[in-house]
């Protein structure tokens, strides 16, 4: 699932996950729970 991470100072604080159908974003899920964010595999580019 395509995602964007908000990581001030290199520390992930929130993840925005996008559900895409065809060429349209149909859903955006924002994960801000610290334990949930820490449990997700985040790769900072």
Is 45 a member of any domain? Answer: no
Query: Which tokens sit at 10?
Result: 């290199």
User: According to the model, what pLDDT value does residue 41 have?
Assistant: 84
In degrees and rounded to multiples of 5, residue 43 shows phi and psi of -120, 115
Its domain, for residue 20, covers 3-39
The predicted structure's pLDDT at residue 44: 73
Q: 44 in a domain, yes or no?
A: no
What is the pLDDT tens value at each position of the chain, 45 positions in all?
788 999 999 889 999 999 999 999 999 999 999 999 999 887 777
The total domain count for the chain is 1
pLDDT of residue 36: 93
């Amino acid at each position: 699932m395509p995602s964007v991470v908000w990581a001030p100072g290199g520390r992930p604080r929130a993840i925005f996950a996008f559900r895409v159908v065809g060429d349209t974003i149909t859903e955006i899920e924002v994960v801000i729970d610290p334990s949930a964010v820490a449990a997700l595999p985040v790769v900072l580019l």
